[in-house]
Every structure is written in C-alpha cells, then in structure tokens.
Amino acid sequence: MSNTIATQFYREKYLKSTLAIALRNGLVAEKICSVDRSDAKIIKAPYQTAPTTTVQALTTSTYNISDYTTTNDTLTVVEMFYSANHIPDFEEVLGEFNIFAARVDDLTYSVMASIDKYVINVMCEDGTGAYTTPAGGFTTAANINVIMSNLISKVQGFNETYAGMYLVIENTDVPGFVQAQATNGFNFADAALRNGMVGNYMGVDIFVVRTGTFVTATIGTRTDLANDGHRLFGVKNTCTYAAPRGIRMEEKMVTGKTGKEVVVFGYIGAAVWAPKATLTVDITLA
C-alpha cells in the first residue's frame, strides 16, 4: 500500500512581493541638499555684491562711498516626474499578497530614484567648482588621500563648511577607497578591515550611487547635462531642490477595464545658488 500527498497539502510561505523586483539604489539628494516642499513654483534668492573694507590711518577721518548691486537668483519648478500602471482587479482580489500596495511602493521608489539622479546631475553641471583627479581617479588607492585633501581645500574657510561636506561616487570607485581605508591609520584601518568601507573619510560623508548615475544625457528639460566620467563634491545644504507637496499618488477608476489606474508623480526644480556655486565641485576623473 502506498500513500500520496496532494501538492496543495504543504503550507506555503510568501516573501514580500517586492523582493524579486529590484535591488534598490540608495537615494542621496535629500542628504546633501536643502529641500523645499512648499507650494511655491518659484523660490527667489536675490544676492548682493560683497562689500569691501578699507584700512587707513586713524587721522584721515574720511571715507568714500561705493556702489553695490543686487542680482536676482531663482529656482523654478519646471519638471514633472511620474510613473503609472493599470492594476487589474483580479490581481488584487485573487492574489495572496497585496499587489496594489506593492505596486504603489515600487512606483514611488521609481519616481524618487529618477528625481535623485536628476538633482545630482544638475548639481554636477551647475556647480562652478572644478577638480580633475590624478590618473586612475578614485580606483587607485594611492590617489585617495591626495584627492580628498585637494577637494577639502577648495571649500575650507567658509562658514558653510560647518554644515558638513559630502562626496558622491559610483560603486566602481569603491575599491580604491576600501584599500586606502584599510591601510591608513590604526583605529581607522581596523574599522575598515572589520566592517568594510567607512562612510566618512577625512570628515567628508561619502555616498555611493550605482554605475550610470552620472550621465551625459537629456533629463526632462535639461539638455545640457554632460557628466559621464564625473563625480560630485561639496558642502551640504548649499543647493536646493523644490518638491511642492512632495511625491503624490492618485488612483482612478478606468473605463472598459476592471481594476484601477495608479499614478505616482511629483513636480521638481533644482538650483545651485550663484553665490555659493563654488562650494559645489564637479570632479572629472582622469
């Protein structure tokens, strides 16, 4: 006599439905920019020419009046980012996990990742600070201390530096950093050897994005982005991106189909403010 067990007999376990969809990139823009979520389409930031101070003999007792000018600087929300899908009713009703919630989560991440890429490339393009690495760039461990010290020197001496400094690199740059961290100092090297790459080097917060973040491409209305082979360094919160009301979601009934139409969207503008543009450094890899 033989016994059989139906295939439906066993208990089944489902993992979170987003698990096999995508490995998600870390988002960086909100960590290095100031973010405005008010309803303003335009943010104005007029600035004046810097005054100069004259030193003269005490007995002179006179002074000269000099003119100054005011320049308008603005951030205008000009881009719309969106991701949309139709979710059939049967997928939600008959599924063993919540397709609707999972899909909205994935749509939201897609929009946020696109915004992150856009803001990083705008900062890299519009920043007026510039630096070219030694040959081999960040992938050569011997270059790391030289590069970091040169970058830090470009922003030292300003009050804004106390907000903290950042460096955005791609994952292909990591080997040089890991090797440099593991061979410099004692406690620091031990930490790198135990835990891998340390997220702060010489007082600079390091953010790693995936290959393909820095691009030469058109994104939205920006047709001038030419950042392939570039990286980004600067002082935190000296650039701004506007996201009126943040990222929003709408769901709508559709005609001729079951289920719902879902769209996740946001309106975005980004600005590197002219008086502080030198504190955003466009790094060219040699």
**pLDDT by residue (tens digit) across 95-119?**
656 777 888 888 999 999 999 999 9
pLDDT at 4: 61
Indicate if the alpha-carbon torsion angle 134, 140, 145, 151 is positive or negative: positive
In a domain, 235, yes or no: yes
Nearest residue to 281 via CA among 156, 171, 173: 156
Q: What pLDDT digit, counting tens, does each position of 44-66 carry? A: 999 999 999 999 998 898 999 99
Q: Is residue 9 part of a domain?
A: no
The answer as to whether 6 is a domain residue is no
Residue 7 domain flag: no
Kindly tell me the burial class for residue 47, based on how many C-beta atoms sit within 10 Å of its own C-beta (0-12, 13-18, 19 or more). Answer: middle
- CA distances 126 to 120, 121, 122, 279, Å, are 10, 9, 6, 11
Q: Provide the pLDDT for residue 231.
A: 98
- The answer to whether 167 and 131 are in contact (CB under 8 A) is no
Please identify which residue in the block is written with the tokens 């929300």.
77
* 3-state class (DSSP) for residue 285: coil
Question: Mean pLDDT over all residues of the chain?
Answer: 88
pLDDT at 21: 58
DSSP tally for the chain: helices H, then strands E: 6, 17
Once rounded to an integer, what is the mean pLDDT over residues 149-165?
92
For residue 92, being part of any structural domain is answered with yes
Whole-number Å distance between alpha carbons of 85 and 102: 12
How much is the average pLDDT of 70-85? 95
The DSSP-derived string for 102-162 is HHHHHHHHHHHHHHHHHHHHHHHHH--EEEEPPTTGGGSHHHHHHHHHHHHHHHTTSGGGG
In a domain, residue 216? The reply is yes
| Tally of domains within the chain | 1
pLDDT given at position 133: 97
Read off the amino acid at residue 62: T
Question: What does the pLDDT read at residue 20?
Answer: 56
Mean pLDDT: which of 187-191, 250-254, 266-270 is highest?
266-270
Residue 192: which domain range?
29-284
Assess if residue 132 is contained within a domain: yes
Joined together, the tokens standing for residue 276 give 């502080």
The pLDDT assigned to 17 comes to: 58
* CATH code of the domain covering residue 266: 3.30.2400.10
- How do beta strands 79-87 and 260-272 pair? antiparallel
Integer Cα distance of 21 and 146 in angstroms = 40
Write down the pLDDT at residue 105.
87
Q: For residue 7, what pLDDT band results from cuts at 50, 70 and 90?
A: low
The Cα–Cα gap between 272 and 266 comes to: 20
In a domain, 22, yes or no: no
Range in 1-10, 90-99, 211-220 with the lowest mean pLDDT = 1-10
Closest listed residue to residue 240, CA positions, set 265, 209, 275: 275
Mean pLDDT of 209-218: 96
Res. 94 pLDDT band, cuts 50 70 90: low
- Rounded to an integer, the average pLDDT of 178-183 is 85
